[in-house]
Structure 1
């Protein structure tokens, strides 16, 4: 019986050690020999190594209970890296004040400062660049449903 991402997600949801933590992504590699389970979790204040370890132990226990102790797999529980796209409204909230690069359903891209997160989407101060002119900034509202991909823009200034 193969491990499924859906089952692991259920195990992970039930295993979150603290109420402010939430799942970002769950994947299971296709390897039949030793599948790799990857769980990305985050929290409103971030996630600690101890919280990752607790989550890993709890998920492993549930896997053993369902699939038996002889199942061979690896498990990795961590926070999403800075290059991982924002997918949850709670992740957007943690990044208010930072610059985001968005790819929208219609194929356009927008870059700007995340000002506010509402129940239905985000408010962004979009940076509009024109050749030979100074950039201008306009407030825009973007519903979550229009966002295909959202990444934090890392600045080293």
Structure 2
């Protein structure tokens, strides 16, 4: 079992019976020097700074007592994923219904729209027409470019390469 899997296993008792879930776990710097362990946790209602701090203290103490990395010093960082972190789990999509997503697709295209719904195998985005200048409209008409879909558009999860919530300060 690698270090990441061991940390994930150690985290299980701290996940409040499934209320919290692991979004990401990274370990960097194993080849000498200080090791950095970064754990991103979330829940359907969000996670507080106090929850992250408590988990960090207790998990860090447990890892120290186990001599997890031998004599190598380590830093443990437990936090929530930032707004710029890509959505990975259905729980994250469900929590962001009503927000605008920017979705990079496996075919290289990008879709932007409001997340309307989430199903077992796809999401549905309300895609608004792109605002184009007159010269861009003419160029696309000349080239007979396929128009992007407009309105409710289902996107299968297997076609999603990356999905981020668009940050808006309106």
Contact 2:35 2:72 in 1 (8 A): no
2:159 is aligned with 1:146: yes
- Corresponding position: 1:44 with 2:44: yes
Over 3 Å off, 4+ runs: 68-71
> Between Structure 1 and Structure 2, whose CA radius of gyration is higher?
2
CA distance in 1, matches of 2:45, 2:104: 26
Give secondary structure in 1 for the equivalent of 2:18. Answer: coil
Count of aligned pairs: 154
CA contact (8 A) 1:17 1:54 kept: no
> CA-atom RMSD, angstroms?
2.4
- Once residues 15 and 154 of structure 1 are traced to their aligned partners in structure 2, the CA distance between those partners, rounded to angstroms, is 30
Match of 2:81 in 1: 80
What is the match of residue 110 of structure 1? 111
Structure 1, unmatched stretches of 5+, are: none
CA-to-aligned-CA distance 1:57-99 (integer Å, 9 cap, x gap): 3322442344358541001101111111111111111110000
SS of residue matched to 2:54: helix
Q: TM-score, normalised by structure 1?
A: 0.86
Instruction: Answer yes or no: is the 8 Å Cα contact 1:13–1:23 preserved in 2.
Output: no
1:120 aligns with 2:133: no
Partner of 1:131: 132
* Counterpart for residue 5 of structure 2: 6
Query: How many angstroms apart in 2 are the aligned matches of 1:131 and 1:90?
Result: 34
> Residues 16 and 55 of structure 1 are in contact (CA less than 8 Å); yes or no, is this contact kept in structure 2?
no
1:115–1:15 Cα change, 3 Å: same
For 2:124 and 2:92, the matched residues in 1 are separated by: 14
- State the TM-score, normalized to the length of structure 2: 0.80
The 2-side partners of 1:56 and 1:131 are apart by 48
Q: Distance in 1 between matches of 2:81 and 2:104?
A: 19
More helix, by proportion: 2
